């Protein structure tokens, strides 16, 4: 099973949004196409590799190994989405593992090669960073919303406290 | 299930309707305080006897706690606890300013001489006097106790706390007791019966009544309803039932019982029937005025009366209650029907505290008012919310206790 990297294919990747074919080629040159079997681990929780991954075909899953020994699947990553970007831009151990759910074809971009592009003032590298910022900002916004909802929910729980419910039952609904 | 456990079932039935949470139910059901004491005496024959005395103080959000003191060999904490809660709902539903309590000693009063009973009573008071009193918890007569026991109680309590006639009710009339207390429960039963018949558009003289139990409550109920023109066709006691389709001559029955050591046994001017037959007679009103747990599911299917007035505490098992509802037999619940007794106790306490004595006419007038108002409240709520009279009564009781708890500041 082979997959040919074309500029048409890469143009669909959000991380490569708004790039000219020549810029896409520049990035393709420093990337490797990788293939994984179902169940193979691509990135290990706690590991410190600095690669940016883009799914071109197949599905991956993000798995967190709990301290109780159980695995929790946090998300699945579908074609054209990326992972590994947090460690890529900010070195830290991976917070979860990513493994192949199906046969997957991935594009791997290494940190060193990327830094070379930056040093050469390559516009493609800066565009990639700009796109990554947008993707991360989206994710941050979703997180903010989620936190806000969580807080609201807590407030709701406080306002339906048993005692005020009891009071309402006896003084409003059943004040006979 | 023991008879008193039905109370808890009926509580939950009402609590379900009010949609009370589990924690709020626990708050309402849990007694405020439970007291258990040793009561040991030397008997007349020199033997040492040890009994257990109980006092459960269930709730005082609406006022000092009030409830009977029973002497019976089977008394235990579970029973006393349940009956204490029942008193909380009962005093609330008739809106007298009391909470609920109950007490007892596991002694068989028939086996003890009056001297021994007096010792038992005084020792019990010695043990609990600090925890009861006119503003705290006021006992009253119950199964196995009477006015005399209350007089001993008051006398012993007063040794510790000075003159305190209001520390118990149901005392002898000569010792700060209430004229009219004896008849009060029966009178209350009679009043709610007449009110109920009125709501059904029935005139008393058109109605037939059967009364099971011819003790204090049964006799006074019979007397009251007879004087109100109802036709009492049957009465019964432990010796059996006595039936006269045209109506019994109640003054004649009462005279007979007076001369026959309080028993109906051998009453000549009626047809003897069994207790079971009495309960299934084709009458308008059936009044169980003896023990609890009389109506089970199978008997409930046989009952032919249109109306049941629960003069006794807990005569109806929950399954029987359901069957009565299905068969559209109206059941007027114990917690209101027999509340005349505790209401009269309240009058006695009020007079003791004021050192002022009402005449019997005022006692009757006030009792009639409280019973009538309570009846009306329960009836209207049952109609308005389409629930049984029993559930309506519990809802009113629980509601008043709950509101008092909330208004008092609730729980910290």
Q: Where in chain B is the domain with CATH 3.40.50.720?
A: 180-412
Question: What CA–CA distance (Å, rounded) separates B3 from B9?
Answer: 11
Which among B23, B381, B406 has CB closest to A170? B406
Q: Where in chain B is the domain with CATH 3.40.50.10860?
A: 31-177
Which among B377, B395, B411 has CB closest to A174? B395
Q: Please state which CATH number belongs to domain B180-412.
A: 3.40.50.720
Question: What CA–CA distance (Å, rounded) separates B9 from B386?
Answer: 19
What integer pLDDT is reported at residue B43 of this predicted model?
97
Which among A166, A175, A176 has CB closest to B24? A166
Domains and CATH numbers, chain A: 7-159 (2.60.120.10)
Place A9 in a pLDDT band, splitting at 50, 70 and 90: confident
Radius of gyration of chain A (CA): 23
Question: What CA–CA distance (Å, rounded) separates B231 from B204?
Answer: 8
Cβ-Cβ pairs closer than 8 A, A with B, add up to: 33
Chain A residues lying within 8 Å of B402, measured CB to CB:
166, 169-170
Contact B117, B145 (CB under 8 A): no
Beta-sheet pairing, B208-212 with B231-237: parallel
Burial class of residue B111 in the structure, from the number of CB atoms within 10 Å of its CB (0-12 exposed, 13-18 middle, 19+ buried): exposed
Model pLDDT for residues B376-392, shown as the tens digit of each residue: 999 999 999 999 999 99
The CATH class for the domain spanning B31-177 reads alpha beta
- The CA distance from B18 to the nearest CA of chain A, in Å, is 7
Structure tokens at A55: 């799914």
Does residue B225 carry a pLDDT above 70?
Answer: yes
Whether A174 sits inside 8 A of B23 (CB atoms) is no
Average per-residue pLDDT for chain B: 96
Smallest CA-to-CA distance from A54 within A1, A90, A17 is with A17
Whether B21 sits inside 8 A of A174 (CB atoms) is no
Chain B residues lying within 8 Å of A167, measured CB to CB:
406
Chain A residues lying within 8 Å of B381, measured CB to CB:
176
User: Which residue of chain A has the CA closest to B393?
Assistant: A176
Beta-sheet pairing, B307-309 with B65-71: unpaired
Average per-residue pLDDT for chain A: 89
Place B187 in a pLDDT band, splitting at 50, 70 and 90: very high
Contact B89, B11 (CB under 8 A): yes
Which among B19, B377, B396 has CB closest to A169? B19
ipTM of model: 0.81
Contact B401, B59 (CB under 8 A): yes
Does residue A1 carry a pLDDT above 60?
Answer: no
Model pLDDT for residues A112-154, shown as the tens digit of each residue: 999 999 999 999 999 999 999 999 999 899 999 999 888 887 7
Which whole number is the average pLDDT over A151-167?
Answer: 78
Contact B94, B120 (CB under 8 A): no
Q: What residues contact residue B67 under an 8 Å CB cut-off, 6+ apart?
A: B58, B83, B84, B87, B100, B101, B102, B103, B139, B140, B142, B342
- The CA distance from B208 to the nearest CA of chain A, in Å, is 34
Whether A170 sits inside 8 A of B403 (CB atoms) is yes
Whether B403 sits inside 8 A of A171 (CB atoms) is yes
| Torsion region of B398: left, alpha or beta (phi above 0 gives left; psi -120 to 50 gives alpha) | alpha
Place A2 in a pLDDT band, splitting at 50, 70 and 90: low
Please count the other Cβ atoms lying within 10 Å of the Cβ belonging to residue B228. 15
Chain B residues lying within 8 Å of A166, measured CB to CB:
20-21, 24, 402, 406
Smallest CA-to-CA distance from B51 within B139, B117, B145 is with B117
Contact A32, A105 (CB under 8 A): no
Beta-sheet pairing, B307-309 with B285-288: parallel
């Amino acid at each position: 099973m082979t997959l040919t990297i074309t500029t048409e294919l890469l143009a669909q990747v959000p991380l490569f949004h708004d790039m000219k074919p020549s810029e896409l080629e520049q990035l393709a040159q420093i990337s490797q196409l990788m293939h994984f079997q179902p169940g193979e681990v691509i990135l290990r929780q706690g590991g410190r590799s600095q690669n940016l991954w883009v799914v071109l075909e197949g599905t991956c899953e993000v798995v967190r190994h709990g301290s109780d020994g159980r695995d929790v699947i946090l998300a699945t990553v579908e074609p054209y989405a990326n992972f590994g970007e947090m460690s890529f831009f900010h070195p830290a151990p991976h917070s979860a593992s990513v493994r192949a759910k199906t046969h997957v074809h991935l594009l791997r971009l290494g940190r060193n090669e990327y830094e070379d592009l930056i040093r050469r003032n390559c516009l493609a590298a800066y565009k990639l960073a700009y796109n990554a910022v947008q993707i991360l900002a989206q994710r941050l916004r979703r997180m903010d919303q989620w936190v806000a909802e969580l807080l609201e929910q807590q407030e709701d729980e406080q306002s339906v406290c048993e005692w005020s419910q009891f009071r309402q039952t006896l003084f409003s609904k059943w004040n006979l | 299930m023991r008879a008193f456990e039905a109370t808890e079932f009926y509580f939950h039935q009402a609590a379900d309707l009010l949609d009370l949470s589990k924690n709020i139910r626990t708050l309402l059901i849990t007694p405020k305080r439970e007291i258990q004491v040793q009561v040991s005496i030397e008997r007349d024959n020199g033997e040492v006897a040890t009994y257990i005395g109980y006092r459960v103080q269930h709730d005082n959000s609406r006022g000092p706690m009030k409830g009977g003191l029973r002497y019976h060999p089977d008394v235990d904490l579970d029973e006393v606890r349940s009956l204490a809660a029942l008193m909380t709902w009962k005093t609330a539903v008739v809106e007298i300013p009391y909470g609920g309590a109950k007490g007892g000693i596991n002694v068989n009063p028939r086996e003890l001489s009056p001297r021994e009973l007096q010792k038992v009573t005084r020792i019990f008071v010695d043990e609990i006097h600090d925890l009861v009193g006119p503003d705290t918890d006021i006992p009253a007569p119950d199964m196995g106790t009477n006015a005399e026991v209350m007089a001993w109680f008051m006398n012993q309590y007063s040794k510790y706390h000075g003159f305190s006639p209001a520390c118990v009710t149901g005392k002898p009339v000569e010792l700060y007791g209430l004229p009219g207390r004896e008849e009060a429960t029966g009178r209350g039963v009679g009043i709610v019966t007449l009110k109920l018949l009125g709501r059904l558009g029935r005139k008393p003289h058109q109605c037939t009544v059967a009364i099971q139990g011819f003790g204090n409550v049964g006799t006074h109920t019979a007397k009251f309803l007879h004087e109100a023109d109802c036709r009492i066709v049957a009465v019964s006691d432990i010796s059996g039932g006595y039936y006269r389709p045209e109506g019994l001559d109640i003054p004649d029955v009462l005279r007979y019982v007076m001369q026959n050591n309080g028993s109906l046994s051998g009453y000549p001017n009626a047809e003897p029937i069994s207790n079971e037959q009495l309960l299934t007679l084709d009458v308008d009103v059936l009044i169980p005025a003896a023990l609890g747990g009389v109506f089970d599911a199978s008997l409930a299917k046989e009952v032919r009366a249109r109306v049941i007035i629960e003069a006794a505490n807990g005569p109806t098992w929950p399954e029987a209650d359901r069957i009565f509802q299905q068969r559209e037999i109206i059941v007027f619940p114990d917690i209101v029907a027999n509340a005349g007794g505790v209401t009269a106790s309240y009058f006695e306490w009020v007079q003791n505290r004021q050192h002022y004595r009402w005449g019997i006419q005022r006692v009757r007038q006030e009792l009639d008012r409280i019973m009538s108002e309570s009846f009306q409240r329960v009836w209207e709520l049952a109609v308005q919310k389409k629930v049984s009279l029993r559930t309506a009564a519990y809802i009113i009781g629980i509601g008043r206790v709950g509101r008092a708890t909330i208004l008092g500041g609730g729980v910290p």
